[in-house]
Amino acid sequence: MQRRVVVTGIGMCTPLGLGREASWKACVAGQSGIGPITHFDSTHYSTHFGGEVKGLDPTTFIDRREAKHLDLFVIFALYAAEEAIAHARLQINPEPADKPGLFNPHAPLETGARSDGSYPCDRIGVFIGAGLGGVSHIESTHTTLTERGPGRISPYFVPQIIINMAPGLLSIRKGIKGPNMSQVSACATGAHAIGEAARTIMDGAADVMIAGGTEATVSPLGVGGFNAMRALSTRNDAPERASRPFDLDRDGFVIAEGAGLLILEERESALRRGVPILAELVGYGRTADGYHMTSPCIDGEGAQRCMRMALRQAYQHGVAASEIGYVNAHGTSTRQGDIAETVALKAVFGDHARKLAVSSTKSMTGHLLGAAGGIEAAFSILALQDGIMPPTINLEKPDPECDLDYVPNQARPTTTRAALSNSFGFGGTNASLIFIKHS
């Protein structure tokens, strides 16, 4: 029987707050984390606002000298990882399961937690992705190059910008020696990292995975680049009302930053450890549109296949499509994207689509790009655990082409046992995750 994968820890930092509890409390309350940009002077940009992480002091969990050489996307990931590891009560044993020496194909490999509840360091892996990586250090280093010459480029520059430094530095800090890599798939990154981490556990290559996404692109290039595409909202007079998925007056997404990570664990081993199980991951879909660089198919054909793939896997775990009660939508607040996802949901779920509660938490957090899938997977799990579905705020004038129940403006109680989280990205890449209450 295929190994089952459960969630035992959540860590995050978002524009809504530092940590899991603060972010979730604000999300359920329908608060907006969007405000004026403070990272740089946005006077000459079309958009003057974004979703910034506020009040994070890296020196509370990273040595001051080391923190100076790290990009924000790595700092966000390390913060979320510390919280997730503590939440899961994860203990890392420095003694590996795979001992050094001559390869013996007949020697059994130790798996699962040891008698003291710890895991061998090589049975734990880290998959943390980002969409763009160290943009702010690319910007500052280019300034150094042009103003002071190549001899003044920092020797830390390359490690500062490469995306896999997020999982790499976490593994170095914690002595984690299992599978380690970064998924990079634009706005589907965090969800892909979680899905691929689950497959790694199912395949037996690890017993525990720390997985999700991180992003720090509220920067001159990030904002300027998306402004050039006319993808960002320019509702500068009311930033907190700018992210309005499924609303007729939406005018683009709101760029944001942060990180969201999950601790995934092989179910039987988690049960032996006696830790609380937050949810079980039962479905994972991943497809491509094969259609356009930045726009989805109007009928959401790629998203349809992605959701069906996840539902097919969930069905093998005894979960029917009709049991999905909540959908955390990709819902970016763009005209084409919101309509395509609505059309796809109706095509996949048929009559049941009218019974779905669908919300976009991006209405509150903004769009965290590569970190979005991790944050939204966490919110989906917390919705199941606490029995409450977060709202889609700023939904004042519903788009007639977006005609499902989007949980407008106020959270709503739920008894559903299954939730779907969608993430779609530039390049036509799609990811869908299905979580259920553990039993």
Digit-coded pLDDT (tens) for 35-71: 999 999 999 999 999 999 999 999 999 999 999 999 9
The residue-averaged pLDDT of 203-223 equals 97
On whether the CB atoms of residues 202 and 359 are closer than 8 A, the answer is no
- Which bin fits 133, alpha (ψ -120 to 50), beta or left (φ > 0)? left
Q: How far apart are CA 211 and CA 84, in angstroms?
A: 10
Digit-coded pLDDT (tens) for 274-331: 999 999 999 999 999 999 999 998 899 999 999 999 999 999 999 999 999 999 999 9
Q: How far apart are CA 226 and CA 60, in angstroms?
A: 33
The residue-averaged pLDDT of 13-17 equals 98
Q: For residue 162, count CB atoms less than 10 angstroms from its CB and return exposed for 0-12, middle for 13-18, buried for 19 or more.
A: middle
Q: How far apart are CA 16 and CA 420, in angstroms?
A: 22
Digit-coded pLDDT (tens) for 220-230: 999 999 999 99
The number of beta carbons lying within 10 Å of the beta carbon of residue 94 is: 9
Q: DSSP assignment, residue 55?
A: S
On whether the CB atoms of residues 130 and 75 are closer than 8 A, the answer is no
User: Residues with Cβ < 8 Å from 68, sequence gap 6 or more?
Assistant: none
What is the band of 2 on the pLDDT scale with cuts at 50, 70, 90?
confident
Judged by DSSP in three states, 288 sits in strand
What is the band of 439 on the pLDDT scale with cuts at 50, 70, 90?
confident
Beta partners for residue 11, in sequence order:
261
Query: Catalytic amino acids?
Result: 187, 330, 367
Q: How far apart are CA 71 and CA 65, in angstroms?
A: 13
Show the tokens assigned to 335: 């005209």
Q: Are strands 208-215 and 279-288 parallel, antiparallel or unpaired?
A: unpaired
On whether the CB atoms of residues 328 and 345 are closer than 8 A, the answer is no
What does the pLDDT read at residue 21?
Answer: 98
| pTM (two decimals) | 0.97
| 3-state SS track over 237-269 | CCHHHCCCCCECCCCCECEECEEEEEEEEEHHH
Identity (one letter) of the amino acid at 227?
N
DSSP E strands, 299-385: 324-328, 357-359
The residue-averaged pLDDT of 342-352 equals 98
Judged by DSSP in three states, 116 sits in coil
Q: How far apart are CA 46 and CA 78, in angstroms?
A: 32
Q: DSSP assignment, residue 334?
A: -
- State the average pLDDT for the chain: 97
Can you list the alpha helix ranges (DSSP code H) found in 252-329?
267-273, 301-316
On whether the CB atoms of residues 53 and 214 are closer than 8 A, the answer is no
What is the band of 380 on the pLDDT scale with cuts at 50, 70, 90?
very high
**Among 182, 197, 255, residue whose Cα is nearest residue 36:** 255
Judged by DSSP in three states, 54 sits in coil
Q: Which domains does the chain possess?
A: 5-99+110-436 (3.40.47.10)
pLDDT at 1 over 60: no
